Amino acid sequence: MTFRSFAIAQAEMHILRRNRWLFMATLIMVLFALALTFAGSAPTGTLGVDMLTISVASMTTLSVYLAPLLALMMSFDSISGENDRGSLALLLSYPAGRGEILFGKFMAHLAALSFAMVVGFGTAGALAAYYGGAGSESLIALGRLIATSVLLGAVFLVLGYMVSSLAGSATAAAGASAALWLVFVVLYDLGLLGAVVIDKGGAFTQNIFPWVMVANPADAFRVWNIAASDTVALTSGMTGAASALPVWAAPASLLLWPVLGFVMARAAFQRVEP
């Protein structure tokens, strides 16, 4: 994009700081990451792994719920909220295309989300390494967790823009975003579980289920972090599904979703009239 996108991003970052969103997102990540790190450190002696490995496994579970939620909370009123406040017409009067405006918002929100992830997971990981030790693989796993959490957040940022563009008001966008989070993070897996139970180990379970699962960005995030680390996989129950897929499947899904989501969000934004 152009310099105009960076100008939009700078303005959005100012709004995030003014509304305390950057502070609140970082605080939430730090508190939850620390709580899970020290509450889940008991299995370290039983499993024979360092505390950071257990911490990364716990934070993976945290991130799959919290990263999408924080992303949607940042993005759900980006378009509909501006329209409700009457500022969208002014924004569209600037010499910037709608794609540039959307990308500027995306850069600011992704930067804020990335800061929260790095500080939250980094603080918890540093304390876990200090008190319980850390090997090279667990340090790599922590870095991968932070990077993939940012990618997962990016997916739900662009999905939030799409919902915000399609909704008639900020209130409707908030409800639609909550439903979106519920479907992707909770109901999708429940539906797959029901299908597996009905299939009873048949063709769906053996051949189709792993691919349908990794098509969901939340599950792709889990599989990527599990498949890439044997020690993290030791503490997870998803090793079977992860081993049934090629190593590129989960990364491809999580990398393609932000691009696909941005294209859909831009198409929806094109139809918005202030």
The Cα 220–Cα 240 span in angstroms is: 14
pLDDT at 240: 59
The values of phi and psi at residue 19, to 5°, are -85, 5
pLDDT at 54: 80
pLDDT at 107: 94
pLDDT at 188: 94
Burial class, 182, CB count within 10 angstroms (exposed 0-12 / middle 13-18 / buried 19+): exposed
pLDDT at 231: 52
Count CB atoms within 10 A of the CB of residue 129: 18
The Cα 93–Cα 96 span in angstroms is: 8
Per 3-state DSSP, the chain is made up of helix, strand and coil in percentages (nearest 5) of 80, 0, 20
Split into its structural domains, the chain has a count of: 1
Instruction: Give the mean pLDDT per block of 10 residues along the chain (274 residues).
Output: 82 86 88 80 55 82 92 92 86 86 94 94 87 78 93 96 92 94 94 88 82 92 78 52 78 95 94 82
pLDDT at 257: 96
The Cα 178–Cα 21 span in angstroms is: 18
The Cα 150–Cα 147 span in angstroms is: 5
The Cα 4–Cα 63 span in angstroms is: 32
pLDDT at 86: 82
Burial class, 198, CB count within 10 angstroms (exposed 0-12 / middle 13-18 / buried 19+): exposed
Give whole-number Cα distances, 90 to 51, 76, 93, 118, 271, in Å: 52, 19, 5, 34, 17
Q: Which two tokens stand for residue 153?
A: 């957040």
Give whole-number Cα distances, 91 to 24, 79, 165, 174, in Å: 26, 10, 14, 22
- DSSP calls for 181-217: HHIIIIIHHHHHHHHHHHHTSSHIIIIIHHHHHHTSH
pLDDT at 4: 84
Enter the pTM of the model: 0.90
Instruction: Give the residue numbers spanning the domain of 90.
Output: 3-270
Q: Which of 28, 110, 115 is nearest to 74 (CA)?
A: 110
Gyration radius of the chain's alpha carbons: 20
pLDDT at 229: 61
